[in-house]
Amino acid sequence: MSTATAAPGRWQFPGGSVEPPTGDGPLDEAALRHHAALELAEETGVEASELTRCLITHGEDGQVGVHYQAPPLPAALIHERYEALVAAETAHGRTPEFDRIVLVGSPAELPDLAGPQVAYLEPVLRWTSRRVGS
């Protein structure tokens, strides 16, 4: 659950806001994918360079979300990297952006999460569970 992001106290995927690049760099697919990989590493400790764009969502507040999917990794490895990130952040006197992570495989598991969720969570999970099942 997020404690220090744009949607504090809500279940959400790792992510962040993207500002237009400075200089001559374009805000294109490669830039968005790179930013998504940086956010994933920053918030979970998981490094992945092979991200696939999976879905674009539109929030009621006018926000547009570009969502990427990382290659599958063993659950134990994801938890290990997150715990290492938390230890490093804590050692430097910083609070991690997420107070915990939970691996959710389908929209059917969302009711098991206690607390509020961001609106895009269910559509992204629906998309990814269809892709995995196909």
Each domain of the chain, given as residue ranges in start order, spans 29-133
Q: How far is the C-alpha of 83 from the C-alpha of 96, rounded, in Å?
A: 10
User: Lowest mean pLDDT: which of 1-10, 15-24, 58-67, 98-107?
Assistant: 1-10
Closest CA to 128 of 53, 32, 62: 53
Q: Which pair of structure tokens corresponds to residue 38? A: 């940086």
Chain-centre distance of CA 26, in angstroms? 23
2 pLDDT band (50/70/90 cuts)?
low
Highest-pLDDT range among 19-28, 81-90, 116-125: 81-90
pLDDT tens profile 24-52: 888 899 999 999 999 999 999 999 989 99
pLDDT confidence band for 7 (50 / 70 / 90): confident
Enter the tokens of residue 23.
């200089």
Please list the residues that pair with 52 across neighbouring strands.
69
Task: Please give the pLDDT value at position 87.
Answer: 97
- Count Cα neighbours of 33 within 13 Å in the Cβ-side half-sphere: 12
Model confidence pLDDT, tens digit, residues 88-117: 999 999 999 999 999 998 999 999 999 999
pLDDT of residue 6: 73
Strand partners, 108: none
What's the pLDDT at 63?
84
- Mean pLDDT across the chain: 89
